[in-house]
Amino acid sequence: MSEHFRFALEGLAHAFRTQRTFRIQVGIAAAVLVLILLLRISSLQAALLLLAIFTVLAGEVLNTAIEALVDLSSPEPHPKAKIAKDLAASGVLLLAIGAALVGILILGPPLLRWVRTFFSPSVP
């Protein structure tokens, strides 16, 4: 395994260990993957969902890196450090909103059909 790949895996492990939001996002991603399989989503739609998932996860990792750099360069509270952290977090929020909208557009209709089928009375 290349050293760079090992560093990347260590970064992911750090994010998973230390970032509650990252763990929540991984859990949501796993739930979406299950829905992709259960609802038999098309390959194109699955690709869009995977792109949205990995974009949010990458954004969260970058946000964590920015926060670490800001903490390193400005250990004491500073208005500009707060702005940098807030902007990085805002970027992840925007990515998450976009991913949620993609998920609703793609998974919403088949999920509603499944719920209606599941809860509709069976005809004898």
Q: What is the pLDDT of residues 38-64, one digit of tens each?
A: 999 999 999 999 999 999 999 999 999
Q: Which pair of structure tokens corresponds to residue 17?
A: 């260990």
Give the Cα separation of 61 and 101 in Å (integer): 21
Judge contact between 12 and 83, C-beta under 8 A. no
Domain 3-119 has CATH 1.10.287.3610: yes
pTM: predicted TM-score of the whole model, two decimal places: 0.90
Name the 3-class secondary structure at 5: helix
The CA-atom distances, in angstroms, between 61 and each of 3, 18, 51, 123 are: 19, 11, 15, 51
Q: pLDDT band for position 123 (50/70/90)?
A: low
Q: Please name the amino acid found at residue 66.
A: I
Q: pLDDT band for position 117 (50/70/90)?
A: confident
Based on the residue annotation, tell me whether 67 is a catalytic residue of this protein.
Answer: no
Q: Which pair of structure tokens corresponds to residue 106?
A: 């793609």
Give residue limits of the domains in the chain. 3-119
Q: pLDDT band for position 118 (50/70/90)?
A: confident
Q: Which of 3, 10, 60, 76 is catalytic?
A: 60
